[in-house]
């Protein structure tokens, strides 16, 4: 189970780093990739991106370095919440095709949170 959790943590971290990097540091590329970015204040998109980047670090570093490893499931829970509310946002905007990614990353983050708590 530990190996499965590490694999999922790594995959989730990679996905959140990619998504967070676009939102936090490549706003124009994010705006071109995701239609919703045009309708949300840039500061909010930046905040989401930074939260995703910090969460991705939190998925890996605390447990890998054995420094306050409780932060790994806490980070996973926070990322699951971000993705859940993102799905709610897409549902409200009737962007149903975008929800699939939210479901996958919610499942990954929830698996890590449950497995590591």
Q: Measure the CA–CA gap between 98 and 11, rounded to whole angstroms.
A: 19
Task: Evaluate if pTM is beyond 0.75.
Answer: yes
Number of domains composing the chain: 1
Q: What are phi and psi of 69, to 5 degrees?
A: -65, -15
Burial class (CB in 10 A: 0-12, 13-18, 19+), 28: exposed
CA–CA separation, 30 and 113 (whole Å):
28
Supply the mean pLDDT for the chain: 96
The parent domain of residue 15 ranges over 2-116
pLDDT in tens, 12-50: 999 999 999 999 999 999 999 898 999 999 999 999 999
């Amino acid at each position: 189970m530990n190996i499965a959790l590490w694999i999922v943590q790594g995959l989730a971290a990679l996905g959140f780093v990619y998504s967070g990097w676009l939102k936090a540091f490549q706003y124009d590329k994010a705006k071109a990739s995701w239609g919703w970015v045009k309708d949300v204040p840039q500061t909010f998109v930046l905040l989401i991106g930074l939260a995703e980047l910090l969460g991705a670090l939190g998925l890996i570093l605390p447990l890998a370095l054995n420094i306050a490893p409780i932060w790994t499931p806490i980070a996973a829970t926070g990322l699951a919440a971000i993705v859940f509310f993102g799905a709610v946002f897409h549902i409200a905007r009737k962007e149903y095709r975008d929800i699939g990614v939210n479901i996958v990353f919610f499942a990954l983050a929830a698996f890590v949170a449950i497995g590591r708590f």
